[in-house]
């Protein structure tokens, strides 16, 4: 009997939720381990040595094989479990479009996560400081990304065509966090009707609510002024900083 897939993740993480929903929708069997990123368990050297030198999640272990980075994880699972062709494309052109989005996502929309992180999590990690520059940077990247994505979605029902793909889950869960934290004002949503239509469509998918339950609860807590207990001292959104590397923390 083969060893079950091991899925290391945390439900507050957008990339983790994208992989989690993909596995549930496709019906991939797995055993999960919630990594305590709030205490910085994933930043410990033994964790990095064993699983991922960057200390980031999600991570999938298939026996001795370890893979990290959400898009790479989903691609591997798609290949291993022969998932329906819509998830990563049936033709060379479809596969290219999905990869095109995933590459764009990692350098654009994903960086917009800084707007959520510095609005709600930074104070829990480093205390009360002026995070306005980081929030401004996050919003700038987020809004620029929304402008591109809205035009992208003006031509097709989903990001890469008229069938859902992993690209949609990757993008959708960024907006789940922004919605939970009330990051995007109503006037910005109104400027991007195609994203709103797409977001509502994705919200009706099987398991979308299930994997998003915790981040919705976290959003309500932060909007109510409650702090999320954290003992870690490094960023949860690497690459969104104004100063600091993200791997060693920001010297506030």
The rounded mean pLDDT for the chain is: 94
Listed in order, strand segments (DSSP E) in the chain are 5-9, 30-34, 59-62, 65-68
d(CA 157, CA 164): 8
Please state the domain count of the chain. Answer: 2
> Has residue 251 got a pLDDT over 50?
no
Q: Residue for token digits 């019906």?
A: 27
Please, which contacts does 99-105 make with residues 24 or more away whose CB atoms are closer than 8 Å? 100/160, 101/152, 101/159, 101/160, 101/167, 101/170, 101/171, 102/71, 102/166, 102/167, 102/170, 104/148, 105/71, 105/167, 105/170, 105/171
Listed in order, strand segments (DSSP E) in 46-116 are 59-62, 65-68
pLDDT at res. 139 = 96
- Taking a C-beta distance cutoff of 8 angstroms, is the pair 228, 124 a contact? yes
Binning pLDDT at 50, 70 and 90, where does residue 3 land?
confident
Binning pLDDT at 50, 70 and 90, where does residue 2 land?
low
Q: 192 and 77 in one domain?
A: no
Quick one: what percent of the chain has pLDDT higher than 90? 90
Q: 193 and 108 in one domain?
A: yes
In a domain, 246, yes or no: no
In a domain, 50, yes or no: yes
Structural domain for 31, as ranges: 5-86
> Has residue 245 got a pLDDT over 50?
no
- Taking a C-beta distance cutoff of 8 angstroms, is the pair 138, 113 a contact? yes
> Has residue 171 got a pLDDT over 50?
yes
Q: 116 and 25 in one domain?
A: no
**What's the average model confidence in pLDDT over 148-160?**
97
d(CA 139, CA 101): 20
In a domain, 251, yes or no: no
Residues 6+ apart with CB under 8 A from 211: 11, 17, 20, 21, 24
* CATH code assigned at 47: 3.40.30.10
Binning pLDDT at 50, 70 and 90, where does residue 244 land?
low
Between strands 59-62 and 65-68, the pairing is antiparallel
At residue 189, the 3 state secondary structure works out as helix
Give tens-digit pLDDT for 49-85. Answer: 999 999 999 999 999 999 999 999 999 999 999 999 9
Give tens-digit pLDDT for 13-57. Answer: 999 999 999 999 999 999 999 999 999 999 999 999 999 999 999
The domain boundary, picked from 86, 116, 135, lies at 86
Q: 103 and 23 in one domain?
A: no
In a domain, 228, yes or no: no
* CATH code assigned at 176: 1.20.1050.10
pTM: 0.94
């Amino acid at each position: 009997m083969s060893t079950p897939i091991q899925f290391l993740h945390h439900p507050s993480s957008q990339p983790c939720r994208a992989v989690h929903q993909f596995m549930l929708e496709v019906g991939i069997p797995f055993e999960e381990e919630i990594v305590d990123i709030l205490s910085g368990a994933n930043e410990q050297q033994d964790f990095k040595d064993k699983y991922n030198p960057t200390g980031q999640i999600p991570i999938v272990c298939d026996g001795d094989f370890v893979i990290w980075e959400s898009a790479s994880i989903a691609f591997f699972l798609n290949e291993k479990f022969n998932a329906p062709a819509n998830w990563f494309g049936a033709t060379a052109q479809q596969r290219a479009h999905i990869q095109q989005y995933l590459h764009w996502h990692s350098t654009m929309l994903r960086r917009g996560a800084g707007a959520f992180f510095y609005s709600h999590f930074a104070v829990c990690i480093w205390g009360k400081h002026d995070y306005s520059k980081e929030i401004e940077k996050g919003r700038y990247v987020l809004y620029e990304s929304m402008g591109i994505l809205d035009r992208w979605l003006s031509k097709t029902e989903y990001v890469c065509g008229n069938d859902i793909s992993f690209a949609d889950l990757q993008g959708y869960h960024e907006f789940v966090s922004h919605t939970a934290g009330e990051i995007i004002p109503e006037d910005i949503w109104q400027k991007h009707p195609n994203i709103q239509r797409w977001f509502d469509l994705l919200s009706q998918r099987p398991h979308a609510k299930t994997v998003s339950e915790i981040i919705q609860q976290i959003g309500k807590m932060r909007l109510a002024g409650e702090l999320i207990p954290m003992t870690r001292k490094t960023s949860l959104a690497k690459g969104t900083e104004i100063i600091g590397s993200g791997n060693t923390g920001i010297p506030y």
